């Protein structure tokens, strides 16, 4: 799990990178809100990162500007979106032949990740964990350009189930994409006692997604 630093739009950014062997898909994982203790070492982010590693991806997680050893200051989402775009550029530089590109994010990171999805057509899959649909505007997903999974806790105290379900249903109504909406019963926003359950859902989704693609390709 090499430590890496790379140039972002407002200074150097700190990350952790797992390079897979050979030609492999890539994934970028984004952390929760920088002003509420969010970092790339968040437990949910770490679990997402390792789920992708276990499925053979080259994976990068990193700290947004102003977090850890990343330079810069919090920029209310605009700068953080630019950071994510720069991180994806860096990841693609080292994996120019990657056959697939995924984005994953938790809470604030899910909001940033979905915005990046709209701007980068090479992203062909996503995992959005506890997207804060009650706090941020997701209407930019019109239409959502890729299929993916939305996952949240059944007892999320920060993001009500109704808001996430409304978002998932809206995206599911669009043509040519498939949204897998899953709930971890009893889990709070941070999956405090349900981290293994959360990771199991992610692993299950990734396994099914790649099995479907292999079947279609074959």
Q: What pLDDT does residue 215 have?
A: 47
Residues of the chain with pLDDT under 50: 215-218
pTM of the model as a whole:
0.96
Q: What pLDDT does residue 211 have?
A: 75
Rounded-to-integer distance, Cα 109 and Cα 116, Å: 10
Contact 33, 26 (CB under 8 A): no
Distances (CA, A) of 31 to 51, 67, 111: 15, 10, 10
* Strand pairing report for 179-184 and 148-153: parallel
Q: What pLDDT does residue 212 have?
A: 62
Rounded-to-integer distance, Cα 68 and Cα 13, Å: 9
Instruction: Output b/e per residue, 206-216; b: 16+ Cβ within 10 A.
Output: beebeeeeeee
Q: What pLDDT does residue 214 have?
A: 54
Q: What pLDDT does residue 216 have?
A: 44
Domains for the chain: give ranges and CATH numbers: 3-217 (3.40.50.1820)
């Amino acid at each position: 799990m090499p430590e890496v630093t790379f140039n972002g739009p407002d200074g150097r950014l700190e990350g952790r990178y797992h390079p897979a062997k050979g030609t492999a898909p890539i994934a970028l994982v984004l952390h929760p809100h920088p002003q509420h203790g969010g970092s790339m070492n968040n437990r949910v982010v770490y679990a997402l990162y390792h789920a992708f590693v276990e499925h053979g991806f080259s994976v990068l997680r990193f700290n947004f500007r102003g977090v850890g050893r990343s330079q810069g200051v919090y920029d209310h989402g605009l700068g953080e979106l630019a950071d994510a775009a720069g991180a994806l550029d860096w990841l693609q530089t080292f994996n120019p032949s990657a056959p697939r590109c995924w984005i994953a994010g938790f809470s604030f990171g899910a909001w940033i990740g979905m915005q990046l999805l709209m701007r980068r057509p090479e992203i062909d899959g996503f995992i959005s964990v506890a997207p804060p649909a009650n706090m941020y505007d997701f209407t930019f997903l019109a239409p959502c350009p890729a299929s993916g999974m939305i996952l949240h806790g059944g007892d999320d105290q920060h993001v009500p189930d109704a808001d996430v379900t409304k978002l998932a249903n809206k995206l599911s109504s669009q043509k040519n994409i498939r949204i897998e909406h899953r709930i971890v019963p009893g889990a709070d926003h941070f999956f405090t006692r349900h981290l293994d359950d959360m990771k199991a859902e992610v692993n299950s989704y990734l396994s099914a997604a790649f099995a479907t693609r292999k079947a279609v390709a074959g």
